[in-house]
Chains A and B, each alone.
Chain A
Amino acid sequence: MRRYNKEVIYGLYNDEEVLLKAVRKAKSKHLEIFDVYTPFPVHGLDQAMGIEESRLHQAGFVYGLCGTLTAFLGMTWIFTKDWPIIFGGKPHWPVPSFIPITFELTVLFAAWGMTITFYTICGLWPGVENPQLDLRTTDDKFCLAFDANDVSDSDVRSFFSETGAEEVNTKSI
Chain B
Amino acid sequence: MNSIQVPSRDKLILGIMGGIGVISLIAIFMNDDEHHTRFWTNFLHNSVFFTLMALMAIFFLCVSRVALAGWNVGFKRVWEAMSQFLIVGFVLMAIIALGVFFNWHHLYHWADESAVKTDVILTGKSGFLNKYFYTFVGLGILGSWVFFARRMRSLSIDEDSHGDNHFKHYKKMKFWAGIFLPIAGFSSAAAIWLWVMSVDAHWYSTMFAWYCSASCFVSMIALTILLLIYLKNRGYYHNVNAEHFHDLGKFMFAFSIFWTYLWFSQYMLIWYGNVGEETVYFQTRIKEYPILFYGNLVINFVLPFLILMRNDNKRKYGTLILVSVIVFLGHWLDIFQMIKPGALHTAHEVSQHVMPNATPAAHQVIEAGVAHADAHGHVDAAHFKSGFTIPGLPELGLMLGFLALFIATTLHFLSKAALVPKKDPFIHESLHHHV
Contact = CB atoms under 8 A, between A and B. Distances in A.
Interface of A: 43-44, 53, 57, 61, 88-90, 96-97, 99-100
A43 B267 CA distance: 43
A44 B434 contact: yes
A96 B274 contact: no
B267 A96 contact: yes
Contacts of A96: 264, 267-268, 271-272
Contacts, number: 19
B205 interface: no
Across the A-B interface, the 3 shortest Cβ-Cβ residue pairs: A43-B434, A96-B268, A96-B271
Contact of A99 (B264, B274, B311): B264
Interface of B: 264, 267-268, 271-272, 274, 309, 311, 434
Nearest to B432: A43
B434 A89 contact: no
A97 B268 CA distance: 7
A43 B434 CA distance: 7
- Interface majority SS on B: helix, strand, loop or mixed? helix
18 contacts: A43-B434, A44-B434, A53-B311, A57-B311, A61-B309, A88-B272, A88-B274, A89-B274, A90-B272, A96-B264, A96-B267, A96-B268, A96-B271, A96-B272, A97-B268, A97-B272, A99-B264, A100-B268
A44 B434 CA distance: 8
Nearest to A54: B311
A99 B264 CA distance: 9
A97 B271 CA distance: 9
Contacts of B271: 96
Nearest to B267: A96
Contacts of A43: 434
Contacts of B264: 96, 99
Given A44-B434, A57-B311, 12 more contacts: A53-B311, A61-B309, A88-B272, A88-B274, A89-B274, A96-B267, A96-B268, A96-B272, A97-B268, A97-B272, A99-B264, A99-B268
A96 B273 CA distance: 12
A57 B313 CA distance: 14
Contacts of A99: 264, 268
Contacts of A100: 268
Contacts of A97: 268, 272
B17 to A, nearest CB: 39
A44 B309 CA distance: 22
B313 to A, nearest CB: 13
A167 to B, nearest CB: 29
A99 B274 CA distance: 17
